[in-house]
Structure 1
Amino acid sequence: MDPTLDSKLISEPVETKKWKKREESSSYELVSYKELPEYMKDNEFILNYYRVNWPLKEAFFSLFRWHNETLNVWTHLLGFVLFLGLTLTNLIQVPQVSDLLALFTRSFPMSGDINVSLDSLDLFVRTTTNLTDLNPEPDVTTVTRWPFFVFLAGSMFCLLSSSICHLFSCHSQHLGLTLLRLDFTGITTMIITSFFPPIYYVFQCDPKWQFIYLGGITVLGLFTIVTMLSPALSTKKFRGFRALLFSSMALFGIIPGIHAAIVNCSNPRHDVAMAYELAMAMFYLTGTLFYVSRVPERFKPGWFDLAGQSHQIFHVLVVMGALAHYGASLVFLDWRHSHSC
């Protein structure tokens, strides 16, 4: 037998094993923009540190690795944890929840003295009230609070869905598209629910305007969600159109905003509420501009692959806008408590 042929027959399995081993070891490595499949090529100014076709387990643990989505995941994940904490803290102020905690404390005292436990619970409730209420003196728990919690729930859903999308969209094209739609749905839900506290509390004495404004933004939001569920409109080609839809929802608030400012003029803290709402609008508008323009990575491709890119800035501004609206909602709650119909 030809020794050359014999050596090839012997060496081929070894080389094949080496190639397979190298392929397996590199399957979870980060790749460049040029190596991406076409469906993942969204931002040509982010050049490196992409994850492609990662299993769900590896995608989950990439939460603790550096790649170009790390800060996109963490900015909204921390925002979700923050709003979850605010929600739980405000729930403690609801009489039914407070009574339930008191009952639980009575049943399972932490010490032999039940009164001590109840005193501790009362101290905790009063302390958290001071931390979350901009004006701790009034007892705002007597006000209908479901519109406030609707906003908090919408904000948490948006932030969590965004984090999940950025973390797991590297798994496959099908899952990536599904999570992208979930992300768009979360943004739309957050915009819709943001209208509930100011519209409900300012127009509490005039249910007709409550119905018109809240019904209008809900219908517009549902139309946006249905549109976003279209596979064609989820592609990068319609990035500007999606931003236009979100902006139109925000611009819808101009008319009820002006109307609410007139109705709310008797509120001694009217200026404070307006300052919060203007700050929210500026945060969201600025974030949208970063989202669409892709600044700063447009000017220095590759420099902002890991940190400082437009989408990360957009995420931070979204959280700041939500916090500004949270502050305004507390002002509306306090005002409605002292000015009932």
Structure 2
Amino acid sequence: MPKHTILRYRRKKGGQWREINLQGTPDKRKDDEDELEVDVKEDRSEQTGIVTKTYEARWKVLKYEHLPEWLQDNEFLRHGHRPPLPSFSECFKSIWSLHTETGNIWTHLIGCVAFFFLACWFLTRPDNHIQFQEKVVFSFFFAGAVLCLGLSFAFHTLSCHSVNVVKIFCKLDYMGISLLIIGSFIPWIYYGFYCRREPKITYIAMVSVLGIGAIVVSLWDKFSESRFRPIRAAVFVGMGCSGVIPTIHYIITDGVHSLFADNSFHWLLLMAFLYLLGAGLYATRTPERFFPGKCDIWFQSHQLFHTCVVIAAFVHYYGISEMAFARLNEQCPVR
């Protein structure tokens, strides 16, 4: 039978870890101290007699003021934060624990898995059900959704690893948002201007250039800092609002009735509302701004933002599916 020994360490913020003697009655942990438990398992091999030791850390959630500066992102979330966990395995194990990132992790993990299987189902339909060309067009949307949600899941899971890892995955997270916006626009523009080659190519190119620009901006190190939260929201909202230009073009050439009847614009408006709602909650940190310490685990702004993104993506899928069905069942006019 393996032998287990529990070691306990404490430190003040920014200080060195010191071992606590558990033989007597240990001192009560002070409010400005972090505590770490380590389970040491000793296992002796019967054949060789060699003893192997396995160390497993047992971390505890911290208050906001006890976090290192690079983990202090939202001062309205007062408690329940993960400590620095400079181990990829520990970070991924933490998804099964309850802390401030639990909701952020699972909302986009579930969304990523759902879109992955939806994409697999869609792309494996027989060609006499869904033509290859339509599969290619929808692939841009599926790729954007899976990458955006998957990179977001990875970032929130690893956000407590280390400064360098956080910087890398934060940039990947923002890149994923840009890819989702590009991937969402391409099917809508393709089917919206299905019978007109020039505007279709022009607007797809425009959205792609704007998306690349947003990715370049997001690679700036300071872009991920907490004080630039409103600017981050503005960059992606501005990119999404670029869809106003092709919309006005379509209204001028085809009219408002066709915009809703043939282009499922009501679904796109609902999608836009959900994205803007989520971005607004994220930028203003609502509701935790008005209830500090009450939304630490559930119903914080970032979770609500994630939920809006997943719902909006499914709404968009339904909308472009309607558009595709309508376009593929009508003839293009002779020009």
Give the TM-score of the pair, scaled to structure 1: 0.78
| Distance in 1 separating the partners of 2:133 and 2:168 | 39
Q: Does 1:28 align with 2:63?
A: no
Query: Alpha carbons of 1:334 and 1:158: their partners in 2 closer, same or farther (altered >3 Å)?
Result: same
| Distance in 2 separating the partners of 1:240 and 1:266 | 36
In the other structure, the counterpart of 1:206 is 196
In the other structure, the counterpart of 1:329 is 320
Is the 1:199–1:260 contact (alpha carbons within 8 Å) kept by the matching residues of 2?
no
Residue type of the alignment partner of 1:39: W
Q: Does 1:317 align with 2:308?
A: yes
Question: Residues 173-198 of structure 1: CA distance to partner in whole angstroms, max 9, x if unpaired?
Answer: 11011111111000111011111111
| Distance in 1 separating the partners of 2:149 and 2:242 | 22
| Distance in 1 separating the partners of 2:305 and 2:174 | 14
In the other structure, the counterpart of 1:270 is 261
Is the 1:290–1:313 contact (alpha carbons within 8 Å) kept by the matching residues of 2?
yes
Question: Residues 262-312 of structure 1: CA distance to partner in whole angstroms, max 9, x if unpaired?
Answer: 548686972781221111011001001100111111111111101010110
Is the 2:76–2:293 contact (alpha carbons within 8 Å) kept by the matching residues of 1?
yes
| Distance in 2 separating the partners of 1:20 and 1:28 | 17
Deviation at 1:322, TM superposition (A): 0.6
In the other structure, the counterpart of 2:28 is none
In the other structure, the counterpart of 2:74 is 43
In the other structure, the counterpart of 2:89 is 57
In the other structure, the counterpart of 1:177 is 167
Q: Does 1:281 align with 2:272?
A: yes
In the other structure, the counterpart of 2:47 is none
Structure 2 SS opposite 1:144: helix
Identify, as 1 or 2, the structure richer in helix: 1
Is the 1:269–1:331 contact (alpha carbons within 8 Å) kept by the matching residues of 2?
no
Is the 1:295–1:309 contact (alpha carbons within 8 Å) kept by the matching residues of 2?
yes
In the other structure, the counterpart of 1:18 is 20
What is the number of residues matched between the two proteins? 284
| Distance in 2 separating the partners of 1:70 and 1:304 | 12
Structure 2 SS opposite 1:195: helix
Question: Residues 54-100 of structure 1: CA distance to partner in whole angstroms, max 9, x if unpaired?
Answer: 121111011111111001000011111111121111112242xx9xx
Residue type of the alignment partner of 2:102: T
After TM superposition, the structure 1 = structure 2 runs for residues 1-341 of structure 1, keeping only pairs within 5 Å, are 17-18=19-20, 23-25=36-38, 28-54=59-85, 55-95=87-127, 139-141=129-131, 144-261=134-251, 263=254, 270=261, 273-341=264-332
Q: Which runs of 5+ in 2 are unaligned?
A: 1-17, 24-34, 39-56
Structure 2 SS opposite 1:42: coil
Query: Alpha carbons of 1:272 and 1:38: their partners in 2 closer, same or farther (altered >3 Å)?
Result: same
- 1 or 2 for the larger relative contact order (CA 8 Å, sep ≥6)? 1
| Distance in 2 separating the partners of 1:217 and 1:185 | 14
Give the TM-score of the pair, scaled to structure 2: 0.79
Query: Alpha carbons of 1:285 and 1:237: their partners in 2 closer, same or farther (altered >3 Å)?
Result: same
Question: Residues 9-47 of structure 1: CA distance to partner in whole angstroms, max 9, x if unpaired?
Answer: xxxxxxx65369964547621111001111111100001
Deviation at 1:145, TM superposition (A): 2.8
| Distance in 1 separating the partners of 2:81 and 2:196 | 53
Residue type of the alignment partner of 2:170: L
Deviation at 1:242, TM superposition (A): 1.2
| Distance in 2 separating the partners of 1:85 and 1:292 | 31
| Distance in 1 separating the partners of 2:269 and 2:260 | 14
